[in-house]
Structure 1
Amino acid sequence: MNDLESSLIHRLRHDGRASFSELAKSVGSNRAIVASVVNQLLASGRVRVLAAVHPRVLGLAVLAHLAIKVSSSSDDILRQVESLDSTVYISETTGPFQIVVEVRMKTMGELYGVMAEIRRLSDVVEVNVLLYERVIQSLFLGEEPSLEGLVMDQTDIDIMTILQRDGRAGFAEIGEAVGVSMSTCRSRVLRLLESRVIQIGAIERRSDTAGDLVFGCGVTLRADSTEIERFLSAIDGVSFVARTIGRYSLVATIAVDSQRDYNRVVRNIRALPSVSLLDTWLHTNIVQERFEDSLDKLMSAAN
């Protein structure tokens, strides 16, 4: 991947509907070249731009990170965990825990039930849970949505469903599909974005990031999280940061280009005065990374 492609993908992660002119200005190129590169990335499937609905809108108030320790091959356990409705991220990892799972659900009771179900699986030795107190940075999980006074109807749901498949679909195309004018469609999409009900961004096909080292880190702090939040916000490869309740104060996911970069990032985190402990684990095989939500969930949330 060349520098222009990398810059465009980085920009599209933050604003998946940025126009070709806006993208060209941000990367210092011309519109025609940018349009050609973006269209090639999308047509090849290397990059997808899609909308994600904030879990709070769907009534999913409990977000958690599960670390699973197994006593033998993890293949069968991975298949069984992947069949659970609540999972949005599953990865094989190095270290004392062999599987990391992210789940989203409505209640603590549901979380307890999922953990009990996983613990009953053959060869599962331990399940350790971290509750997300606040998600600080994520590809698709931004600030809390502003839902006061917001009313969504079937047209909004239909629009969101289309954007989950193609976040760069044109207003005219979406409007025709859902039975409203282009201007009405534009107003509705902007309202959903401004209220943070949805976020639209780019994701890369994992096979095209195979050269990256993707690692997770768990941090215990001796002070508040301001210092490390500021540090992590300046690293391009950071895709996820959350303050947590459990054995760590904060967890993060970071992609780097090399072992040298990994060592540099880890050393710099450990050198922060507010950090008392840093554990890391490599994500060796990302099994599931789900961004879309079903129409049933959207309907339930709207009603």
Structure 2
Amino acid sequence: MDLDQTDLSVVRELQEDGRLTYETLAQRVGLSRPATRARVQRLLASGAVRVVAIVHPAVRGLTASAHLSIDVEGAAAPVARAVAALPQAPFVTLTAGQRPIMAELRTAGFGALDQAIESVRSLPGVTFVDPLLSTGQVKDPYLLPDEPDALDLDATDHRVLAELEHDGRLPFAELAERVGLSPGATRSRTLRLLDAGVAKVVALVRPELLGLGHLCGFAVRLDGPAAPVARRLARWERVSFLSTCIGRAQLVGTITAESLGAVLETQERMRGVAGVRGVESWLHMELVKERYDMGTPHAPGTSDDT
């Protein structure tokens, strides 16, 4: 779908706070409340935009993660779909590069991570798996930068989070009916969870709709400590994701750019950073899966795909 400048303004506001009221959103984008509501509903109905709560991995005990480069024998797409079917895989893409599939795994501890990697290795068609084990998130648009406050979450809190993971803009009245509380109590409980950093409600948007249709993954080998280089790269606008890791490289990340020329320019600039010994890269050609509602059952009618 084609987005005009007002649509883009709506999307950018929802990327910052997916639960903005229609009244506040209307004031920020310069439309009436009914016109703003109609625009949001059109964007959501198209499937190009999803507004969901992303729960901090620590809340679910997902303390270990890895980025996998996967080689296959034969067609890659069926293998990518098999990887995407694994509950430990929130992100899977088909790529152009040395390996045809890239995936992210998140698990409760490194023992479970090792088992998940072995599960990928055992899938039909998989011939090689090269993992980069994450040691820290440096930049992630969907992850709050700090550890959540220490809250004693009860079953109702987890039901609230599960509902918002499926629909981040669910009205408090409807959310209250689903979790068995009054609207006022539901509102207070939800705001408590969001303010504590337990979850963040954001808009997930296909990058091409924002004029950023070129996604390039990269792995950086370093001569020295990772922290100084990581801090520098994280400040770059086109570096949308960055993680420290161990394996064949010390940093892994994503460039989100408006053109292949911009991707190349960013890579060349990266290669010139002091301490960088080499940069490996791959183009994300097709997003197979992007879901972060891990540890909760999917609502009826939902899909693993964006």
* 1: CA distance, partners of 2:81 / 2:21: 40
Which secondary structure does the structure 2 equivalent of 1:87 belong to? coil
Q: CA–CA distance in 1 between the matches of 2:130 and 2:65? A: 14
Contact 2:66 2:131 in 1 (8 A): yes
**Deviations, residues 2-35 of structure 1 (Å, cap 9, x unaligned):** 23322332231221112345445555x3454544
Q: Kindly tell me: are residues 42 and 124 of structure 1, through their superposed partners in 2, closer, same or farther at Cα, counting changes over 3 Å?
A: closer
Code of the residue aligned with 2:254 in structure 1: it is T
Q: Which residue of 2 aligns with 1:98?
A: 100
Helix, strand or coil at the partner of 1:260 = helix
1:192-232 Cα deviation digits (max 9, x unpaired):
11222211100125785797111111122334434543444
Q: Please give the residue correspondences for 1:192-271 in structure 2 after superposition, counting only pairs within 5 Å.
A: 192-205=193-206, 212-221=213-222, 222-235=224-237, 237-271=238-272
Query: What TM-score does the superposition give when structure 2 sets the normalisation length?
Result: 0.84
Contact 2:156 2:179 in 1 (8 A): yes
Aligned length: 294
CA contact (8 A) 2:212 2:257 kept: no
Which whole-Å CA distance do the structure 1 matches of 2:141 and 2:4 have between them? Answer: 22
| Higher mean C-alpha displacement, 162-171 vs 205-214 | 205-214
3-state SS of paired residue (1:41): helix
Tell me, in whole angstroms, the C-alpha distance in 1 between the residues paired with 2:102 and 2:242: 15
Pick closer, same or farther for the CA change 1:68–1:40 going to 2, 3 Å: same
> Where does 1:65-104 land on structure 2 (aligned, <5 Å)?
65-104=67-106
Structure 1 unaligned regions, length at least 5: 298-303
CA distance 1:231–1:104, shift in 2 (3 Å):
closer
Q: Secondary structure at the match of 2:264?
A: helix
Q: Could you tell me how far 1:61 is from its partner in structure 2?
A: 1.3
- Residue 111 (1) aligns with residue 113 (2): yes
Contact 2:230/2:242 (8 A) holds in 1: no
Q: Which residue of 2 aligns with 1:156?
A: 157
Q: Is the 8 A contact 1:60 1:105 kept in 2?
A: yes
Structure 1 pair 24–242 and aligned structure 2 pair: CA distance change class (3 A): farther
Which shifted more, 131-140 or 17-26? Answer: 17-26
Q: What is the CA-CA distance between 1:123 and the residue it aligns to?
A: 4.4
Alignment of 1:290-301 (within 5 A): 290-295=291-296
Partners of 1:11 and 1:230 in 2: CA distance: 26
2-structure distance, mates of 1:77, 1:5: 36
Superposed displacement of residue 167, structure 1 = 0.8
> Pairwise CA RMSD of aligned residues?
2.7
Measured in 2, the distance between the counterparts of 1:278 and 1:8 equals: 36
TM-score normalized by structure 1? 0.85
Whole-Å separation in 1 of the counterparts to 2:144 and 2:39: 27
Amino acid of the residue matched to residue 12 of structure 2? H
Partner of 2:302: none
Equivalent residues of 1:145, 1:195 under 8 A apart: no
2:4 and 2:270 mapped to 1: Cα distance? 29
Question: Displacement, 1:179?
Answer: 2.6
Q: Which runs of 5+ in 2 are unaligned?
A: 299-306
